[in-house]
């Protein structure tokens, strides 16, 4: 079974962005350049937050629009990225309706969640969790 990161209760999100920093720290970096999660307000913090993570689609639009097959569907859902094939066209980022394809400006290449779940361990309020992708969900999406 494949795993994916899930936003299980966005109403508990306080906007601390600990997950975003965790994602970058996974690679040993400070700051946020390497982060593949986004937390922003829903147009003013009084309305709460939007947590942007890769949903690991079973038929991912980002992979469909990749002209070089650098992004390919992962078995069970989500995508894998082969950097050496990527030409940095940005189609993938434009295709994701959630904005979950982040952009490495220095390399001009996408940054996409690898479904490791490191971030979820740093969410103090159980907003995020690494979950098994249920087969029926994967089938329904397909």
- Residue 97 found at the interface with other proteins (CB under 8 A): no
Q: Which of 44, 136, 140, 142 binds other proteins (CB under 8 A)?
A: 44
**How far is 21 from 34, CA to CA, in rounded Å?**
9
Stretch that binds other proteins, among 40-48, 66-74, 87-95, 129-137 (CB under 8 A): 40-48
Map tokens 């094939």 to a residue: 85
Dihedral sign (CA 133, 23, 97, 89) = negative
Task: Please state the φ and ψ torsions of residue 92, each to the nearest 5 degrees.
Answer: -60, -45
Stretch that binds other proteins, among 38-46, 56-64, 75-83, 128-136 (CB under 8 A): 38-46
Task: Please state the φ and ψ torsions of residue 5, each to the nearest 5 degrees.
Answer: -85, 135
- Binding string, 105-134, against other proteins, x = CB under 8 A? -----------------x-xx---------
And the tokens for 55? 């949903």
Q: Which spans of this chain sit near other proteins (rule: CB under 8 A)?
A: 14-18, 21, 24-25, 28-35, 38-41, 43-46, 48, 122, 124-125
């Amino acid at each position: 079974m494949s795993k994916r990161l899930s936003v299980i209760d966005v109403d508990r999100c306080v906007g601390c962005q600990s997950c975003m920093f965790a994602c970058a720290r996974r690679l040993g970096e400070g700051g946020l350049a390497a982060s593949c999660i986004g937390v922003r307000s829903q147009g003013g913090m009084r309305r709460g937050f939007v947590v942007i993570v890769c949903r690991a689609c079973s038929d991912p639009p980002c992979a469909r629009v990749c002209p070089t097959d650098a992004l390919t569907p992962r078995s069970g859902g989500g995508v894998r990225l082969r950097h050496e094939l990527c030409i940095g066209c940005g189609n993938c980022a434009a295709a994701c309706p959630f904005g979950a394809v982040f952009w490495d400006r220095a390399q001009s290449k996408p940054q996409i969640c690898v479904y490791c779940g490191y971030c979820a361990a740093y969410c103090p309020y159980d907003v995020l969790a690494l979950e098994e992708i249920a087969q029926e969900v994967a089938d329904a999406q397909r």
